[in-house]
Amino acid sequence: MSHWTVIAIAYGLTFLALAVEVGLLVRRRRAALRQVRLLAEATEPGGSEETNDPDNGNRAGT
């Protein structure tokens, strides 16, 4: 096996590892975007009382 073959195998494995990493990053990004979208839908106007409470539950001065 010539040294060029070893170099080609090393480059091939490096490219494969890079492709796997990029694939995992894309999957993680899509999951994060999906989570943000679901959170935005859950906190739309008319959602929880905490979000719509103007004085954040502070009733001390009333």
pLDDT digit string, tens, across residues 2-58: 999 999 999 999 999 999 999 999 999 999 999 999 999 888 776 555 555 555 556
21 three-class SS: helix
pTM over the 0.75 mark: no
Structural domain including 40 reads: 1-44
- Asked if 6 contacts 13 with a C-beta cutoff of 8 angstroms, the reply is no
- Let me know if residue 54 belongs to a domain: no
pLDDT at residue 13, as a whole number:
98
Domain for residue 15, yes or no? yes
Q: How many CB atoms lie within 10 A of CB 3?
A: 7
Task: Indicate the burial class of 12 (C-beta count within 10 angstroms; 0-12, 13-18, 19 or more).
Answer: exposed
pLDDT (0 to 100) of residue 54:
58
Report if residue 18 sits inside a domain: yes
Query: Would 38 be classed as within a structural domain?
Result: yes
How many structural domains are present in the chain?
1
Q: What integer pLDDT is reported at residue 59 of this predicted model?
A: 61
Q: What is the pLDDT of residue 60?
A: 60
* Predicted local distance difference test score (pLDDT) of residue 44: 79
